[in-house]
Amino acid sequence: MLGQRIVTALILLAIIVPAIFFAAPWVWGVVSLAMLCAGALEWGRLMHAPRQGLMLAAGLAAAGALYLVWRGHLAQAPAPAMAAIVCAGSLAFWLSVALVSLARVQRTGPGMAIGGLVLGAAWLSLYELRLESSLMLVSAMALVWLADIGAYFFGRTLGRHKLAPRVSPGKTWEGAAGGAVVVLTVAAGVALLWPSLATHVYSSHLISHLGWVAAALALLLLTALSIVGDLYESLLKRVAGVKDSGRTLPGHGGVLDRVDALLPTMPACLLLLQLLR
């Protein structure tokens, strides 16, 4: 299993790294769109509606392809505004999830329409952040990875109080706090050690425009959203009675298992970035 995970990870890196750093932005747009279309198929399976999942994936692929053409050649000025509207809708959904669904641990059936909003907004954000710069995109995604790493190690060593035991028994409040500490510590370190990167590093960009206190609050919100995305996908899997969202990535499960925390955070990252213009 470990060998399978390593091989899959190496293949993904061989595709994703060149697409982000060395290719034109539209290449990353196509690669990320393909990944989220696979996630749409998994979404349909979690809803016990594979045919609707196929329709969702096809619709997402068509809409994404049209957006790539429109964004690149036809009408660049309105695109950020449209992306902001979509991201705001997605963020409203995720905040409602945090306040209602997870708090009450209700059985949830978001359906294909919400799946389209969630996956579409995530893809728009990944593409628009890449248009800003490769480093802006990667540094935004790194916030999620840092939160996850911090939550894992702090949860393993200090975790005592369960965060959502009926949804994901392994997650603890101590782990969540540890993830936030790691995000804030790394963000502060990067901003202090490499101030010249403020234009391209997401957290440093927030600090330079908002100041330390407001930027810290924004980073805490993003960390919380990453946890919400992770827990929500766990809830969907629990309702569906499956361990993984799919078998798209051998050794890792499905695409949704790997991007669940990115789904709410990337739209929020893009929305914050656009509000600071």
Question: What is the three-class DSSP state of 110?
Answer: coil
Mean pLDDT value across residues 75-104: 73
Greater confidence (180 vs 276) lies with 180
Q: Is 35 exposed, middle or buried (CB count within 10 Å of its CB: 0-12, 13-18, 19+)? A: buried
Question: What is the three-class DSSP state of 136?
Answer: helix
pLDDT per residue as tens digits for the range 203-254: 999 999 999 999 999 999 999 999 999 988 888 888 888 888 888 877 678 8
Taking CA atoms, 188 is separated from 121, 192, 201, 211, 223, in Å, by 28, 6, 12, 11, 15
Query: What's this model's pTM, rounded to 2 decimal places?
Result: 0.92
Bridge partners of residue 109, in order along the sequence: none
Tell me phi and psi for residue 48, to 5 degrees. Answer: 55, 35
d(CA 209, CA 207): 6
Structure tokens at 259: 């991007």
HSE, CB side, 13 Å, CA atoms: give it for residue 207.
Answer: 22
Beta strands in 35-190 (DSSP E): 162-164, 168-172
d(CA 186, CA 77): 34
Answer whether 205's CB lies under 8 Å from 136's CB.
yes
d(CA 164, CA 138): 29
Mean pLDDT value across residues 106-128: 82
Greater confidence (94 vs 54) lies with 54
Contacts of 18 (CB under 8 A, 6+ apart): none
Write down the pLDDT at residue 260: 92
pLDDT per residue as tens digits for the range 135-186: 999 999 999 999 999 999 999 899 888 988 888 888 899 999 999 999 999 9
Q: Which of 41-50, 62-71, 95-104, 215-224 has the lowest mean pLDDT?
A: 95-104
